[in-house]
Amino acid sequence: MYNLGFAWFTVSAILLSTVWSTGSSGALELVILRMVQAVGGALLMANSAAIITDAFRPSSSASPSDEQVVGIVGSFLGILVAGCSPGGMALVFLANVPVGVFGRSGPSSS
């Protein structure tokens, strides 16, 4: 499910960067594709908390709350970067692609 979330989120980011319509039809396409991307994001967030909880025991310095704080900060910074991006919104969506590719191709547990 976690890898499926990475793939879903990454493919959705690519599709979001290719929206060519403008005006209200472009906005509708972006909203619909963001809802599709949210499904991948939900798979990532729900499963990553479970993986971190399983991987790090209570005596460890990492905890699920650390992961949630990083996620919230990333969401906030994403809004700032999108607003200041000179390349337009397409580049902001494409910034997710390397993260999705490298995150999905990382070491796997058997």
What confidence tier does 55 reach under pLDDT thresholds 50, 70, 90? confident
What confidence tier does 109 reach under pLDDT thresholds 50, 70, 90? very low
| Reported pTM | 0.66
Q: Mean pLDDT, to the nearest integer, of 3-30?
A: 87
pLDDT at site 104: 62
- Asked if residue 90 lies in contact with residue 33, where contact means CB atoms within 8 angstroms, the answer is no
Most distant CA pair in the chain: distance in Å?
Answer: 53
Please tell me the distance from the alpha carbon of residue 65 to that of residue 59, in angstroms, as a whole number: 14
Q: Mean pLDDT, to the nearest integer, of 63-91?
A: 70
- Asked if residue 28 lies in contact with residue 19, where contact means CB atoms within 8 angstroms, the answer is no
**Higher-scoring residue by pLDDT: 74, 29:** 29
